[in-house]
């Protein structure tokens, strides 16, 4: 096979037990990259997740493309090695494999800095584990959104000798779910889903503003921590543990996806929001979280959620237009739009030249 015919060799290093957005994003990515790259997916075993099972979405994606989840060998060899979400290494003292590649890309699924400027995790430690296992490779940090890029750029600016540089383009989340039509007559059925971390939820007072007793339905999927305090919380809240039902089925039962997080945390992309948009639901969230999704996602504060819901129930056409606007913006995350952008990051310059 000559250079012009050779597909790039790409090795994905991923902690396969990641729940939530990282696991979902990698699952869609595997399906999109398998036809265009010689893809190997290696499962890291980190201290972060203990004995948690492999994310079923990721396992299903590997089965769909006919690829096994490979163990990590002593040396990972590829044109490009991609590590998803370096935060998975924060509790580890070493990275086992050496990385032999022209380019190593770290996809920064979590913001490097929190609101206020403090580190979200020990970024230097995690990147240092990687740096200690590679030599000569180009080292890129690939953000997943504009706001995520800003935190990575700020972290790098304070550490000019880190050995890492910012990728020219973002590493876009893929959203392969089909776009569903918005409901013709939206009702006051509100809900949200996420993994059940403390950072994913605002305080109880804010939740009460978002999910009041006069709403027809208030459902929270991923409410494991709230369930521990069930007796102290409003009885009209439907609290479901993480994974209690498929996300698609959950979204069918609501019309307004109301999503706010802890004020000390900021989503880097908000994949749960993308899933709600694709399902034809109107999303209401804080301005910073809404930014990557365009004007079809309604930016508000918790105290303003009631007014947003009432206005869009009163004007179904306005509801539908906002959902369609959000879905149009989300088309840039469809596989056909994303794969060329990913390939421009995945294929090192010397590999591109060899194919000419």
What pLDDT, in 10s, does the model give residues 160-182?
999 999 999 999 889 989 999 99
Task: Say which residues have a Cβ less than 8 Å from residue 272's Cβ, sequence separation at least 6.
Answer: 20, 21, 192, 193, 194, 247, 257, 259
Residues 136, 279 within the same domain: no
Edge-to-edge strand list for the sheet holding 298-299: 237-240, 217-221, 189-193, 256-259, 282-285, 298-299
pLDDT at residue 351 is higher than 70: no
303 DSSP 8-state letter:
G
pLDDT at residue 202 is higher than 60: yes
Residues 36, 170 within the same domain: yes
341 inside domain: yes
Distance in angstroms (rounded) separating the CA atoms of residues 165 and 113: 16
244 inside domain: yes
> Residue 23 is part of which domain span?
9-174+335-354
pLDDT at residue 5 is higher than 80: no
Query: Count of domains in the chain?
Result: 2
Q: Is 298 helix (H, G, I), strand (E, B) or coil?
A: strand
Residues 206, 107 within the same domain: no
Overall average pLDDT of the 26-31 stretch? 95
184 inside domain: no
Residues 214, 301 within the same domain: yes
Q: What is the mean pLDDT of the chain?
A: 93
pTM here is 0.91
Residues 13, 157 within the same domain: yes
Residues 163, 284 within the same domain: no
Residues 213, 106 within the same domain: no
96 inside domain: yes
4 inside domain: no
Residues 199, 135 within the same domain: no
199 inside domain: yes
Output the pLDDT for position 355: 46
Residues 123, 158 within the same domain: yes
Residues 339, 205 within the same domain: no
Distance in angstroms (rounded) separating the CA atoms of residues 87 and 218: 32
pLDDT band at 353 (very low <50, low <70, confident <90, very high): very low
265 inside domain: yes
* Backbone φ, ψ for residue 211 (5° rounding): -125, 70
Distance in angstroms (rounded) separating the CA atoms of residues 80 and 234: 51
Q: Are 254 and 219 in contact, with CB atoms under 8 Å apart?
A: yes
């Amino acid at each position: 096979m000559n250079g012009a015919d050779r597909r790039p060799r790409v090795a994905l290093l991923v902690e396969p037990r990641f729940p939530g957005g990282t696991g979902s994003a990698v699952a869609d990515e595997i399906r999109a990259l398998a036809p265009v790259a010689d893809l190997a997916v290696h499962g890291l075993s980190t201290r972060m997740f203990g004995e948690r099972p492999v994310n079923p979405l990721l396992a299903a994606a590997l089965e769909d493309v006919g690829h096994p989840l490979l163990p990590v060998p002593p040396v990972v060899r590829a044109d490009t090695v991609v590590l998803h979400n370096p935060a998975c290494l924060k509790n580890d003292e070493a990275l086992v494999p050496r990385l032999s590649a022209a380019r190593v890309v770290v996809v920064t699924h979590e913001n490097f800095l929190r609101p206020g400027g403090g580190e979200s995790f020990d970024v230097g430690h995690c990147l240092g584990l990687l740096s200690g296992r590679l030599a000569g490779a180009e080292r890129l940090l690939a953000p997943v959104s504009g706001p995520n890029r800003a935190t990575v750029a700020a972290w790098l600016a304070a550490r000019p000798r880190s050995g890492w540089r910012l990728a020219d383009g973002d590493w876009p989340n893929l959203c392969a779910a089909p776009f569903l039509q918005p409901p013709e007559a939206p009702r006051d059925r509100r809900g949200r889903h996420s993994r059940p971390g403390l950072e994913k939820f605002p305080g109880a007072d804010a939740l009460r503003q978002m999910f009041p007793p006069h709403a027809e339905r208030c459902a929270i999927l991923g409410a494991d921590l709230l369930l521990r305090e069930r007796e102290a919380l409003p009885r009209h809240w439907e609290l479901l543990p993480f994974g209690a039902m498929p996300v698609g089925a959950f979204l069918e039962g609501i019309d307004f996806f109301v999503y706010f997080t802890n004020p000390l945390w900021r989503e880097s992309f908000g994949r749960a929001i993308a899933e709600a948009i694709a399902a034809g639901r109107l999303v209401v969230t804080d301005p910073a979280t809404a930014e990557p999704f365009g004007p079809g996602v309604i930016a508000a504060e918790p105290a303003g959620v009631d007014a947003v819901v009432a206005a869009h129930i009163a004007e179904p056409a306005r509801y539908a237009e906002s959902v369609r606007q959000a879905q149009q913006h989300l088309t840039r995350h469809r596989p056909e739009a994303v794969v060329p952008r990913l390939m421009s990051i995945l294929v090192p310059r010397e590999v591109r030249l060899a194919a000419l």
